[in-house]
Amino acid sequence: MPRPLRLTSPLADGVPDLAEFVTDVVARVNAGAWGRDPNSPDDQTPVFVARAPGRLDVMGGIADYSGALVLQWPIREATRVAIRPWTEQRLSILSIARGGLERRCDVPLEIVADPQRSHDAVRAWFAADPTRHWAAYVAGVLHLLSREHGVRYASGASILVESSVPEGKGVSSSAALEAATIEAATAAWRVTIDPRTRAVCCQQAENLIVGAPCGVMDQMTSICGEADSLLALLCQPAELQGSVRLPDALRVWGIDSGIRHAITGTDYGAVRVGAFMGYRILADLAGLQVMPGERPGHVRVNDGRWRGHLANVGSDAFGRFAADIPEALDGHAFLQRYQGTTDLVTRVEPTRRYAVRAPTAHPVYEHERVTDWARCLTSTAAAWPHDAARLGALMYESHASYSACGLGSAGTDRLVALAREAHPAHGIYGAKITGGGSGGTVALLTDAAAGDAVRAIAGRYAEETGREPYVFEGSSPGAARIGTIRLDPA
Written in H, E and C, the secondary structure of the chain is CCCCEEECCCCCCCCHHHHHHHHHHHHHHHCCCCCCCCCCCCCCCCEEEEEEEEEEEEECHHHHHHCCEEEEEEEEEEEEEEEEECCCCEEEEEEECCCCCEEEEEEEHHHHHCCCCCHHHHHHHHHCCHHHHHHHHHHHHHHHHHHHHCCCCCCCEEEEEEECCCCCCCCCHHHHHHHHHHHHHHHHCCCCCCHHHHHHHHHHHHHHHHCCCCCCHHHHHHHHCCCCEEEEEECCCCEEEEEEECCCCEEEEEEECCCCCCCCCHHHHHHHHHHHHHHHHHHHHCCCEEEECCCCEEEEEECCCCCCCHHHCCHHHHHHHHHHCCCEEEHHHHHHHHCEECCCCCCCCCCCEEECHHHHHHHHHHHHHHHHHHHHHHCCCCCCCHHHHHHHHHHHHHHHHHHHHCCCCHHHHHHHHHHHHHCHHHCEEEEEECCCCCCCEEEEEEECCCHHHHHHHHHHHHHHHCCCCCEEECECCCHHHHCCEEEEEC
Q: With 90 as the cut, is the pLDDT of residue 423 above it?
A: no
Q: Any idea which of 107-111, 282-286, 355-359, 431-435 has the lowest mean pLDDT? A: 431-435
Bridge partners (DSSP) of residue 432 are 443
Q: Which residues pair with 160 in a beta bridge?
A: 82, 94
> Do 487 and 47 form a contact (C-beta atoms < 8 A)?
yes
pLDDT of 68 reads 97
pLDDT at 171: 93
Residue 360 contacts residue 343 (beta carbons within 8 Å): no
Lowest mean pLDDT among 55-59, 260-264, 481-485: 260-264
Spatial distance between the Cα atoms of 402 and 440, rounded to a whole number of angstroms: 13
Looking at residue 381, what is its pLDDT?
A: 53
Give the model's confidence band at 4: pLDDT under 50 very low, under 70 low, under 90 confident, else very high. confident
Distance of CA 373 to the CA centre of its chain: 21
C-alpha to C-alpha distance for 252 and 250, rounded to whole angstroms: 7
Q: What average pLDDT score do residues 408-437 get?
A: 92
Q: What is the mean pLDDT of the chain?
A: 92
pLDDT of residue 297: 97
% of the chain at pLDDT higher than 70: 95
How does residue 212 score in pLDDT terms, banded at 50, 70 and 90? confident
Instruction: Name the strands in the sheet holding 441-447, side by side, starting at the edge strand that comes first in the sequence.
Output: 428-433, 441-447, 250-256, 471-473
439 has a pLDDT exceeding 80 = no
348-367: string of b/e by CB count within 10 Å (b at 16+)? bbeeeebbbbbbbbbbbbbb
Neighbours of 127 (CB within 10 A): 15
Residue 322, CA distances (Å) to 30, 316, 357 in order: 64, 10, 7
* Catalytic residue ranges: 218
* Separation of alpha carbons 343 and 300, rounded Å: 9
Q: Could you give phi then psi for residue 230, rounded to 5 degrees? A: -90, 125
Q: Stretch 449-478: mean pLDDT, rounded?
A: 96
As a whole-number percent, the residues of the chain with pLDDT over 90 amount to 81
Give CATH 3.30.70.890 domain extents, the chain: 250-263+364-473
Is omega for the bond preceding 363 within 30 degrees of 0, making it cis?
no
Q: Tell me: the pLDDT tens digits for 158-172?
A: 999 999 999 888 899
Q: Are 486 and 1 in contact (CB under 8 A)?
A: no
Least Cα distance to 127 among 111, 149, 148 occurs for: 111
More confident residue, 435 or 312: 312
Residues 198-223 have a mean pLDDT of 93
Q: What is the arithmetic mean of pLDDT over 137-158?
A: 95
What pLDDT, on a 0 to 100 scale, did the predictor assign at position 214? 83
Q: How confident is the model at residue 440 (pLDDT cuts 50, 70, 90)?
A: confident
* Number of residues that make up the chain: 490
Cα dihedral 154, 160, 166, 168, rounded to 10, equals: 40
pLDDT tens by residue, 362-415: 999 999 999 999 999 887 555 666 689 899 999 999 999 999 999 988 999 999
Residue 38: CB atoms within 10 Å: 10
Q: Give the per-residue pLDDT at 101.
A: 80
Domain spanning 250-263+364-473, CATH class = alpha beta
The answer to whether the beta carbons of residues 356 and 274 sit under 8 Å apart is yes
Task: Say what the pLDDT of residue 44 is.
Answer: 81
Can you tell me the distance from the alpha carbon of 176 to that of 184, in angstroms, rounded to the nearest whole number?
12
Count of C-beta atoms within a 10 Å radius of residue 462: 13
Mean pLDDT score, 218-231: 96
Say which range, 148-157, 310-319, 430-439, has the weakest mean pLDDT: 430-439
pLDDT of residue 41: 67
Q: Does 3.40.50.720 match the CATH number of domain 5-245+477-489?
A: no
Beta carbons of 153 and 91 less than 8 angstroms apart:
no
pLDDT tens figures, 60-74: 999 999 999 999 999
SS3 letters for 82-145? EEEECCCCEEEEEEECCCCCEEEEEEEHHHHHCCCCCHHHHHHHHHCCHHHHHHHHHHHHHHHH
Strand partners, 473: 253
Instruction: State the span(s) of the chain assigned CATH 3.30.230.10.
Output: 5-245+477-489
pLDDT given for residue 383 in this prediction: 63
The band of 84, judged by pLDDT with boundaries at 50, 70 and 90, is very high
- pLDDT given at position 2: 60
Cα separation, 414 vs 378, in Å, equals 30
* Closest among 420, 432, 103, 9 to 255, alpha carbons compared: 432
Q: Which residues pair with 262 in a beta bridge?
A: none
